[in-house]
Amino acid sequence: MKGNKYSPDWPFRLLVTGGSHSGKTNMVINLILGNKLQRMFKGKKGNRYIKNDHLVLVGKHAEPKWELVKNAFHIFANSPDPYRENISFQTIKAEKIPDISKFSPKGSTVIVFEDLCAESKKIQERIVPYFISGRHQNISPIYVTQKYQAVPKIIRENISHLVMFRGSGSREDICRVVRQYTDDPKKASKIIDKHLRNQNFIVFDFTKAIDDPLAIRL
C-alpha cells in the first residue's frame, strides 16, 4: 500500500491546505503518480508512492494536471508487465458523491475532494463519512482546499495527516495546530509561518507520538 517512506501509511485521512498556486495539487499528484511514469519512459521500473487500486476525483475535473493523472493511469493499466497495474481512475461531480457503502473493501480507493469548501452543507455532509468510516471500506480520503479554518470541524478532527502550504490560514490557525507539540506555540507558529512564506510546506502526522521526530516534517 505504500511506495515511499514519506507517504502516509494506509489507510489515511489527509487534509491539504494552501492558497492558489501554492503547490498543494502538485503534491497530491506526486504522491499518486510517484516516479513511475518518468522512469517507465526510460525503460526503468518506478513506483507510485500511494499504492491504491482505484482513484476517484471529486471537484475540478477539467484541470490539465488531473488529465495527466487520468492518462497515466490509463497507461499503467494497459502496459505490459512489469509496468502493468490493475487500477482505475474516475471523476464524480460533487452532487453525485456516493455513500461509502458503494465501495468494495476488496480494492483500495483514494478519493480526492478538491476545492469543495464553498459547496453546500449537504455536500459537506456527504463527505464527512469518508473521514469517519472510510477505512472500513478500504478508502483513504484527501480533502484539498485553500483555508484550514474553512474546512468543516468534524473533518479537521478526524484527519490522520495535515499538510499546510503558504496561504493556509492565519498564524493563529497554525498556533492551534502546533500547541500540542510545544510549550511555546506562538514562537513555533511564527517559525512555521516564515517557512511557509518561503514557498515550502509542513506535514503534521497525527498517527505519530508527539515526541516522534517524524510527527512534524518541514
Q: What average pLDDT does this structure show over 186-195?
A: 82
What dihedral angle (degrees, nearest 10) is formed by the CA atoms of 117, 121, 125, 127? -20
Domain assignment of residue 156, yes or no: yes
Provide the domain limits for residue 102.
14-168
Lowest mean pLDDT among 7-16, 139-148, 174-183, 198-207: 174-183
Q: Measured between alpha carbons, how far is 177 from 173 in angstroms, rounded to an integer?
A: 7
- Residue 144 clears pLDDT 90, i.e. is over it: yes
Domain assignment of residue 188, yes or no: no
Residue 152 binned pLDDT confidence (cut-offs 50, 70, 90): very high
| Greatest alpha-carbon span in the chain | 55
Q: What average pLDDT does this structure show over 72-100?
A: 93
Q: Residue 74: which H helix or E strand, with range?
A: helix 64-77
Q: What is the pLDDT of residue 141?
A: 98
- Exposure of 144 by Cβ count < 10 A (0-12 exposed, 13-18 middle, 19+ buried)? buried
Residue 213 binned pLDDT confidence (cut-offs 50, 70, 90): confident
Q: What average pLDDT does this structure show over 87-97?
A: 95
Residue 169 binned pLDDT confidence (cut-offs 50, 70, 90): confident
Q: Measured between alpha carbons, how far is 164 from 174 in angstroms, rounded to an integer?
A: 9
Q: Is the pLDDT higher at 213 or at 59?
A: 59
Q: Residue 132: which H helix or E strand, with range?
A: helix 121-132
Q: What is the pLDDT of residue 21?
A: 84
Domain assignment of residue 197, yes or no: no
The answer to whether 189 touches 205, Cβ cutoff 8 Å, is: no
Q: Measured between alpha carbons, how far is 51 from 43 in angstroms, rounded to an integer?
A: 20
Query: What CATH number is given to the structural domain containing 95?
Result: 3.40.50.300
| Domains in the chain, number | 1
Residue 81 binned pLDDT confidence (cut-offs 50, 70, 90): confident
**DSSP per-residue letters across 166-215:** TTS--HHHHHHHHTTT-S-HHHHHHHHHHHHHTT--EEEETTS-TT-TTS
Q: What is the pLDDT of residue 100?
A: 96
Domain assignment of residue 27, yes or no: yes
The answer to whether 92 touches 127, Cβ cutoff 8 Å, is: no
Domain assignment of residue 199, yes or no: no
Q: What is the pLDDT of residue 78?
A: 94
Residues 17-72: tens digit of each pLDDT: 998 888 899 999 999 999 998 888 888 888 999 999 999 999 865 678 999 999 99
Q: What is the pLDDT of residue 77?
A: 94
Q: What is the pLDDT of residue 192?
A: 83
Domain assignment of residue 83, yes or no: yes
Q: What average pLDDT does this structure show over 185-196?
A: 82
Domain assignment of residue 77, yes or no: yes
Domain assignment of residue 115, yes or no: yes
Q: What is the pLDDT of residue 134?
A: 97
